[in-house]
C-alpha cells in the first residue's frame, strides 16, 4: 500500500506539468443535495483529465533502460493522452491502443502529443489485451491506466490538493472506471484525515467495483453498457480492489438519465463542459444520504465530442422537463387550433414543434390530434400547463421521449 511519502514525491514531480484546478462552490448542486458541494474540475487539467497525474508519475519513475524501450498503454482516451504527454516530455516513444468506439476528439488529441495510435476492439478490455500482446512482442514498457502503484500515487495527489484547500472536507465523491483514481484519492485522503468519507460512483451499466465488493472478489461483467465510455470497464484491477476494500466507504451507481441531467446543470449553471464519465460524481450528489456536509465532487475529465455535447444538452432538457412533449385532441373545426396555441402562450411556454394530424383515428370521430413540443421552465411549469389545459376541458397525454 502506498505511503504518504510516495504521494508527496508524486506531487513534487507533477508540480512541473500540472495546472491548478481549484475548488468551485456549486450553489445548484448544494441546493439539490442538501449539502455544501464543491467541484474539483480536473476536466480543466492539462490533457483534459486527471490521467496526466498517474501517467506522468509512472513515466518519470522509469529507469533510463526502460525509457529506451518506449511505452505502450491501452485506453478509452484520457489515459492515452496522459501517457502520450508524459512520453513526449521525457523524449520517449509511446504507442497507444484504443477501442474503435473511442470518441474522435480523444484519438486526435492523443496523436497530437506524438503517440502512435492503434484502434482495436469494441471496449477497453479488448484494447488492453492487444496492448499486452504488443508489449510482449516489441518489448515496450506497459503503463497500466489503473492497476499500478506509481499511477495511483499520481492520482492520489488530487486528495492532497483537496485537503490542503478545504481541510474540513467531509466527503469526496470519485468516479470509478478501473479503480485507479479512487484508489489513490482514498488512500491519500484516509492517511491525512482518517474520518473522511470516500464514496465511489459508477454507471449502472458498468458497475464492476460495486459487484466486486458485493462478491468480495474481482469479477468480470458480461458487458459494460453506458454512455460513460471512459468508465465502461468490465473488470477493475486486483490491486485497486484491495485499495477499495480498505479505504472506500461506499459505492453509488447512477443511471445514464441522471448523467444527462447533471450534464445540463453543469453546463447551464457553471458553464463547465465535462465528459460523461467525468460527471458521475456530480450526478451522485443528489443520491447522498448525508446532509449538511462539505462534499467535494471530482470531475475527472472533459474530453467530449461536440456532437455528444449537443445530444447531452437536449436529453438533459427533456430529463428536467425543460422540453415537454404531449398530445391533445381538439374538435375538427375552425379556431380550435388557435385556442390551444393561445393557451400555451398564456402559460408562458414556447412552442418548438406542432404537428396537426387531421387523419388520426381517435375515439371521437370528429376530433383531431395535435402533437406538441414546448419549452418550459421545468416540472412545476409543466404541471401548471397541464392543469390549465384540463380546466379548459382538454386532456393532455405526455409522450415519453426516448432519451437513452
* Whether residue 306 sits in one domain with residue 186: yes
Residue linked to cell 401548471: 384
* Whether residue 79 sits in one domain with residue 104: yes
Mean pLDDT over residues 86-99, rounded? Answer: 94
Residue 75 has pLDDT above 90, yes or no: no
In a domain? residue 171:
yes
pLDDT digits (tens, 9 = 90+) for 258-267: 999 999 999 9
DSSP per residue over 305-330, as a string?
-HHHHHHHHHHHHHHTTSEEEEEEEE
* Whether residue 325 sits in one domain with residue 178: no
In a domain? residue 57:
no
pLDDT digits (tens, 9 = 90+) for 95-114: 999 989 887 877 888 999 99
Task: Give how many domains the chain has, as a whole number.
Answer: 3
In a domain? residue 385:
yes
The torsion angles phi and psi of 56, rounded to 5 degrees, stand at -65, -40
Query: Which stretch of 135-139, 180-184, 221-225 has the lowest confidence by average pLDDT?
Result: 221-225
* Whether residue 162 sits in one domain with residue 237: yes
The torsion angles phi and psi of 3, rounded to 5 degrees, stand at -110, 160
Q: What percent of the chain has pLDDT over 90?
A: 64
Mean pLDDT over residues 215-221, rounded? Answer: 95
Which helix (H) or strand (E) segment is 279 a member of?
none
pLDDT at 40: 98
* Whether residue 91 sits in one domain with residue 221: no
* Whether residue 291 sits in one domain with residue 169: yes
Residue 296 has pLDDT above 90, yes or no: yes
pLDDT at 382: 86
* Whether residue 165 sits in one domain with residue 292: yes
In a domain? residue 2:
no
CA distances from 364 to 227, 337, 369 (A): 43, 17, 11
Residue 15 has pLDDT above 50, yes or no: yes
Mean pLDDT over residues 29-51, rounded? Answer: 96
Residue 313 has pLDDT above 90, yes or no: no
Burial 293-304 (b: 16+ CB within 10 A, else e): bbbbbbbbbbbb
Non-local (6+) Cβ contacts of 208 within 8 A are 202, 219, 220, 221, 224, 233, 234, 235, 236
Domain CATH for 250:
3.40.50.1100
Mean pLDDT over residues 284-290, rounded? Answer: 97
Place 404 in a pLDDT band, splitting at 50, 70 and 90.
Answer: very low
Mean pLDDT over residues 211-223, rounded? Answer: 94
pLDDT at 401: 63
Q: What percent of the chain has pLDDT over 70?
A: 96
Domain boundary among 316, 332, 358: 316
Residue 222 has pLDDT above 60, yes or no: yes
pLDDT at 398: 86
Helix, strand, coil percentages (3-state) for the chain, rounded to 5, are: 50, 20, 35
**Alpha-carbon gap, residue 90 to 328, rounded angstroms:** 65
pLDDT digits (tens, 9 = 90+) for 148-171: 999 999 999 999 999 999 999 999
Mean pLDDT over residues 378-387, rounded? Answer: 88
* Whether residue 347 sits in one domain with residue 236: no
Residues labelled catalytic:
51, 300
Mean pLDDT over residues 261-275, rounded? Answer: 94
Residue 232 has pLDDT above 90, yes or no: no
In a domain? residue 381:
yes
The residue with greater pLDDT, 379 or 192, is 192
* Mean pLDDT, all residues of the chain: 91
pTM (two decimals): 0.83
The residue with greater pLDDT, 288 or 401, is 288
- Three-class secondary structure of residue 368 per DSSP: strand
* Whether residue 42 sits in one domain with residue 186: yes
* Whether residue 284 sits in one domain with residue 213: yes
- Domain residue limits at 298: 19-50+158-316
Contact 264, 317 (CB under 8 A): yes
* Whether residue 293 sits in one domain with residue 337: no
Domain CATH for 384:
3.30.70.260
In a domain? residue 394:
yes
Residue 319 has pLDDT above 90, yes or no: no
pLDDT at 1: 60
Bridge partners (DSSP) listed for residue 294: 36
In a domain? residue 76:
yes
pLDDT at 37: 98
The residue with greater pLDDT, 280 or 342, is 280
Residue 22 has pLDDT above 50, yes or no: yes
Quick one: cell of 40? 474539483
Domain boundary among 276, 294, 316: 316
Place 315 in a pLDDT band, splitting at 50, 70 and 90.
Answer: confident
The residue with greater pLDDT, 249 or 305, is 249
Domain boundary among 139, 167, 199: 139
pLDDT digits (tens, 9 = 90+) for 351-377: 888 887 665 545 555 678 888 888 888
Helix 379-391 with 336-346: angle, nearest 10 deg? 140
In a domain? residue 257:
yes
* Whether residue 382 sits in one domain with residue 329: yes
Amino acid at each position: 500500500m502506498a505511503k504518504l511519502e510516495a504521494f508527496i514525491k508524486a506531487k513534487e514531480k507533477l508540480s512541473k506539468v500540472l495546472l491548478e484546478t481549484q475548488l468551485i462552490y456549486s450553489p445548484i448542486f448544494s441546493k439539490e443535495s442538501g449539502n455544501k458541494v464543491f467541484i474539483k474540475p480536473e476536466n480543466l487539467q492539462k490533457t483534459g483529465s486527471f490521467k496526466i497525474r498517474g501517467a506522468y508519475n509512472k513515466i518519470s519513475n522509469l529507469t533510463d533502460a526502460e525509457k529506451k524501450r518506449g511505452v505502450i498503454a491501452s485506453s478509452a482516451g484520457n489515459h492515452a493522452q496522459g501517457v502520450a504527454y508524459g512520453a513526449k516530455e521525457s523524449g520517449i516513444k509511446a504507442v497507444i491502443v484504443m477501442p474503435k468506439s473511442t470518441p474522435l476528439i480523444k484519438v486526435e488529441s492523443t496523436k497530437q502529443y506524438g503517440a502512435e495510435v492503434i484502434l482495436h476492439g469494441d471496449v477497453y478490455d479488448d484494447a488492453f489485451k492487444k496492448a499486452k500482446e504488443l508489449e510482449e512482442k516489441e518489448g515496450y514498457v506497459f503503463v497500466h491506466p489503473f492497476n499500478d502503484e506509481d499511477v495511483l500515487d499520481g492520482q492520489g495527489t488530487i486528495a492532497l490538493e483537496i485537503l490542503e484547500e478545504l481541510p474540513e472536507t467531509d466527503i469526496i465523491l470519485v468516479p470509478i472506471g478501473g479503480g485507479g483514481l479512487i484508489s489513490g484519492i482514498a488512500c491519500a485522503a484516509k492517511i491525512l484525515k482518517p474520518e473522511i468519507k470516500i464514496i465511489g460512483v459508477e454507471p449502472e451499466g458498468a458497475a464492476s467495483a460495486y459487484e466486486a465488493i458485493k462478491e468480495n472478489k474481482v469479477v468480470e461483467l458480461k458487458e459494460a453498457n453506458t454512455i460513460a465510455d471512459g468508465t465502461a470497464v468490465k473488470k477493475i484491477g486486483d490491486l485497486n480492489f484491495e485499495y477499495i476494500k480498505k479505504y472506500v466507504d461506499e459505492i453509488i451507481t447512477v443511471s445514464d438519465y441522471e448523467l444527462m441531467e447533471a450534464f445540463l446543470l453543469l453546463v447551464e449553471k457553471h458553464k463547465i463542459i465535462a465528459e460523461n464519465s467525468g460527471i458521475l460524481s456530480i450526478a451522485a450528489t443528489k443520491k447522498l444520504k448525508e446532509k449538511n456536509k462539505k462534499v467535494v465532487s471530482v470531475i475527472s475529465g472533459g474530453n467530449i465530442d461536440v456532437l455528444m455535447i449537443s445530444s447531452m444538452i437536449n436529453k438533459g432538457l427533456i430529463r428536467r422537463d425543460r422540453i415537454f412533449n404531449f398530445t391533445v385532441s381538439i374538435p375538427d373545426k375552425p379556431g380550435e387550433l388557435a385556442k390551444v396555441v393561445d393557451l400555451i402562450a398564456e402559460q408562458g411556454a414556447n412552442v418548438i414543434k406542432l404537428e396537426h394530424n387531421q387523419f388520426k383515428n381517435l375515439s371521437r370521430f370528429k376530433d383531431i390530434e395535435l402533437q406538441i413540443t414546448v419549452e418550459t421552465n421545468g416540472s412545476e411549469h409543466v404541471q401548471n400547463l397541464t392543469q390549465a389545459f384540463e380546466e379548459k376541458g382538454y386532456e393532455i397525454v405526455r409522450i415519453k421521449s426516448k432519451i437513452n
